[in-house]
Amino acid sequence: MAITIYTNEDIKPGAIAGEKIAIIGYGSQGRAHAQNLKDSGHDVIVGVRHGGTGWKHATEDGLATAEPADAVKDADIIAILTPDMVQAEVYKDIIEPNAKKGSALLFAHGFSIIYGRITPRDDMDVILVAPKGPGDLVRREFQRGRGVPSLFAIEKDVTGKARDRAMGYAKGNGGATGGLLETTFREETETDLFGEQAVLCGGAKELVIRGFNTLVDAGYQPEIAYFECLHELKLIVDLFYEGGISKMHHFISETAKWGALVSGPRVVNDETADRMKDVLNDIQSGEFARRWIEENEQGKPEYEALMQKDRDTQIEEVGARLRDRMAWLQASKPKAA
């Protein structure tokens, strides 16, 4: 049975009318959610530290601001959009002692709930609204009258309003314009972590770097290797995005199609699938979360070392030089949060 995709017409009119929304954190997602919800006519306040970067940007964007504890006090929906590793502290120190009874705690990712970082008060609804795209895209698509498809989930419904709150929030953020799908906290968390690690961020990055290195090690010019293994990837991903694998096949040459069909499985194969299963097992068992939490508690030494290793790759040095000459990229850089 196919999953239901909800649109604006499926959401109860005035689902969160009159409810005050506190956005805690003003990074990529926080900024997009706050602006979209305000533009949709909702009462929004941003909880940020006075004088900080978030306060400055939220004020410049014309949003009401307050210290996080003050923003939470009168809110009906509290969206915690800070990084995963600080959410437990934010909840314990700011939200738990100040949130009013019957308010809803809203997440954009279920990590803190699934891995026991936060145990919400018994009187609070616990809901999730997760746009399937970065904050900059969530904002841009909303401004175009479209929207980024979003997931929503209900972990706990104390007030009987949790579903309306989640769907109403998603509508205000553009998610129901893009298409709204129901999931669970666990499904969202585990699939999101897997996608990031095995395909979107980890898998794609390693494939690009190893392809680049293979060409350079064989004596080809690094600049040519960069265009072949990284730059042109966007063109192929855009075809995937617009029409799936079939559209990609339709718009590439016969030679490219034949090469893809016979050589793709030589690179990504059953051994790769077994490694992917290992990644998923670590996520499902909690091993990945345990290791990431422990890494943060130790000051992130391995994280920093691995990040520096990526920064020091030849493809990064070559790419920076080439991109500096691409005027269209300089003009389209999003405003820093």
Residue type for position 323? R
CA-based nearest residue to 127, from 94, 159, 149, 98: 159
Is 54 known to sit in a ligand binding site? no
Residue with tokens 């309003």: 161
109 included as an active-site residue: yes
Is 314 known to sit in a ligand binding site? no
CA-based nearest residue to 133, from 141, 122, 125, 123: 141
Is 67 known to sit in a ligand binding site? no
The DSSP symbol for 333 reads P
Catalytic residue among 33, 109, 231, 249: 109
Query: Is 40 within 8 Å of 95 (Cβ atoms)?
Result: no
CA R_g for the chain: 22
Is 294 known to sit in a ligand binding site? no
Question: Which stretch of DSSP H or E encloses residue 167?
Answer: helix 162-172
Is 27 known to sit in a ligand binding site? yes
Is 253 known to sit in a ligand binding site? yes
Is 26 known to sit in a ligand binding site? yes
Per-residue tokens: 287: 């091993």
β strands within the chain, DSSP E: 5-6, 20-24, 43-47, 64-66, 77-80, 104-107, 125-131, 150-156, 180-182
Is 242 known to sit in a ligand binding site? no
Residues 6 or more apart from 233 whose CB is under 8 A from it? 204, 208
The DSSP symbol for 336 reads P
Is 123 known to sit in a ligand binding site? no
State how far the Cα of 76 lies from the Cα of 50, in Å rounded to an integer.
22
Residue stretches of the annotated binding site for Mg(2+):
192, 196, 228, 232
Residue stretches of the annotated binding site for substrate:
253
Residue stretches of the annotated binding site:
26-29, 49, 135, 192, 196, 228, 232, 253
- Cite the active site residues: 109
